[in-house]
Amino acid sequence: MRQDGVRAQQREQTRQALLREGRRLFSGRGYADVGLTEIVAAAGVTKGALYHHFAGKAELFRAVLEEAQQEVARRVEGAAAAHDDPWEQLVAGCQEFITAATDPEVRRVMLVDGPAVLGWTEWRAMDEAGSARHLADALTALVDAGVIVRQPVGPLVHLLSGAMNEAALWLASTARPEDLAPTRAALEHLLGALRTRPPR
């Protein structure tokens, strides 16, 4: 039993090494320019070890993308949780998404290569299972509370998600830190236009 525990720990260490090095290489040079041989060499494992955990490079990338999405989601949830008011939670969460997604390591994996490698449909399904679901929950609560005018939440989620993804891509492409503050201000104005009444 103890031996099984050691083996399980070794397997998990191998998986984490592959994820860590895969993420570093994918975010640094992009999916297309990174080969499996390079990944396993960087992780200090064999190709057989990689195939034990992942069917191939695309599946490893999918796991790296999922990890990046979860990391962004934790940051968004943490920023929202710092506020008691549901409206302030929404604004803080959206603002944190913009900031987190402009991290070069996150941006390339999550917004650039994600849709290209996995295909638009699978990428959107992953996005909807994560950040879009949290956004939908927040917007639904605000509509139900009368803070946002009553309307179907689905279209609003897609419009806001698209706007924030595009803003993050633009910020990353300009590579000018001074663009972040006005982008966050513009997002706050955009969100403010949804309110049925001014904040107290």
Per-residue pLDDT tens, the chain, 200 aa: give them: 466 777 888 889 999 999 999 999 999 999 999 999 999 999 999 999 999 999 999 999 999 999 999 999 899 999 999 999 999 999 999 999 999 888 878 888 988 899 899 998 998 888 877 778 889 999 999 999 999 999 999 999 999 998 998 898 888 777 778 898 999 999 999 999 999 865 55
Residue 129 tokens read as: 């299972």
Shared domain for 48 and 67, answered yes or no, is: no
Residue finishing a domain among 54, 76, 99: 54
Q: How many CA atoms lie within 13 A of 124 on its CB side?
A: 7
Shared domain for 105 and 34, answered yes or no, is: no
Q: Tell me the DSSP string of 21-54.
A: HHHHHHHHH-GGG--HHHHHHHHT--HHHHHHH-
pTM of the model: 0.84
Q: Look up the domain containing 27 and give its range.
A: 1-54
Q: How is residue 102 annotated by DSSP?
A: T
Shared domain for 88 and 174, answered yes or no, is: yes
22/40 Cα distance (integer angstroms): 9
Q: Which residues contact 104 (CB under 8 A, 6 or more apart)?
A: 27, 172
27/21 Cα distance (integer angstroms): 10
Shared domain for 166 and 138, answered yes or no, is: yes
CATH of the domain at 82: 1.10.357.10
144-87-163-74 Cα dihedral, nearest 10 degrees: -110
85/20 Cα distance (integer angstroms): 37
CB distance 149 to 197 below 8 Å: no
